[in-house]
Structure 1
Amino acid sequence: MFAVDSPPRWRRRLSGAALVAVALILFDPQLAHAEPGIPDPPNGLLTDRGKGEISDADRDFAVKVRLAGLWEIPAGKMAQEKSDDPRVQSIGRDIANQHVALDGLVRDAAKKLDVALPDKPNADQQGWLAEMRDAEGEDFDRVYIDRLRAAHGKIFPAIATIRASTRNDTVRKLAQRTNQFVMTHMTLLESSGIVDFAALPTAPPPGSASGGSTSTAQLQTASSRTSLAGTPVLALVMVALASAAVTVFICRHFIQDSRQSYRRRRSRY
């Protein structure tokens, strides 16, 4: 019986690394995609021509978006200067910079729709800024995080109402973009680990909110479409198929290398 040469060492290592990667993907599908099954809204599909009736609620929404930037930008600057926590400093910097971008969007929309915007924060917002100026160290961190998280929580449902009901395409696109900013800011604030969730307002009882409540059957249907940790079944199936293909590819290379080495060995005799 003739000896069969082993595959080169580099190929063995590469194949081993591929198998490890496949195993990791199977045990943690999020490694294959940052947020499996969670789509990003295609904002480019929305028009922005100022077309459609604009309501008083639409105008009020634009004003509120402008007001948010007028106090959260200076609040973020204070977070960078007054906080001793690097995480809070980073959160303040990110939120302030993002509000600069959002402020540009709302000013462009207001100009297109002829909506008058304020130039300074309202009385409540000025009071929150004064509270931050008077606080230091951990007290500042608590005030900054809790005030911003509470404010984002209040405007969050208002954005959804405008996005779902507005007749104006520019307001619709602004609401969709604003929603993405607000969700990002809430996540950043909560990443500080110091949000006082117990102090946040509670949701209304089922059936009392406008629009009705979600039925048990709907919840069961939605939950049946997901698997481990909320990962969609389709995503898991695709990952499993990909891992199988990689495994077959690797095995074929092992067999092919072994056969070629065997033939070369025989030809020497």
Structure 2
Amino acid sequence: MQQPHESPPLPPGSARVLVVDDDPTVSEVVAGYLDRAGYVVDRADDGPTALTRAAAHWPDLVVLDLMLPGMDGLEVCRRMRGHGPVPVIMLTARGDEDDRILGLEVGADDYVTKPFSPRELVLRVESVLRRSRPATGARVLGAAGLSLDPGARRATKDGVELALTLREFDLLAFFLRHPGRAFGREDLMHEVWGWEFGDLSTVTVHVRRLRGKVEDDPARPQLIRTVWGVGYRFEPGSEREPGSEREPGSEREPGFDREPGFDREGE
């Protein structure tokens, strides 16, 4: 993939959305709804074409089908993430939870399962773009060697820049604004994603990915702590209580009885 070029000026208030789907009917319907909502829409029907389109005019958001010929959506997402930050909404024709988890693991910010309402997808696009815009006048957040500048959408740890996705950045910012408080996954979904309900494994995956980027030892997290039966708590500068050490990989998420991130929340 070539380095992305500077996109040409867009009409005031508009954003560029790249729609990638090999089903021409889905692509046309989605592009039509986005166009009527005021977005500038580029289209691609396979992975290589999507990368070429993105290199020519870097999008503000990508609507990306998981199942593509030649190069699947996961690989397209990985390659685009390697060239610059861009919000991604993944489309999947299957309701398989593993597919959704894989999409989130490679950095997708949201997912929509086919068949879907085009109006709902437009609302998801609006929500993700709204949260991706720099916050004007917001103060820099910091603790435990972490520094987040909401205005520049830039995060560092001990002076080294962190490659965070949109949702990872927002999740870390939320934790930094509320140190020492425990939040359930439903709370985090509402406050960070802006959803009243949804698949709680989305939160679990993002917490795990965020730990992998901010913790010295993600297997023994000391900043983003699990609160059993509740959710998570951010504890800057905290030390582990005696006897609380666990073997690597044994840290299990609240409400999960088996593999973290792949089960529904327990009662």
Greater C-alpha Rg: 1
Which protein has greater RCO, CA pairs closer than 8 Å, 6+ apart? Answer: 1
Q: Quick check: TM above 0.5?
A: no
Whichever structure has more strand as a proportion of its residues is 2
TM-score, normalised to structure 2, is: 0.25
TM-score, normalised to structure 1, is: 0.25
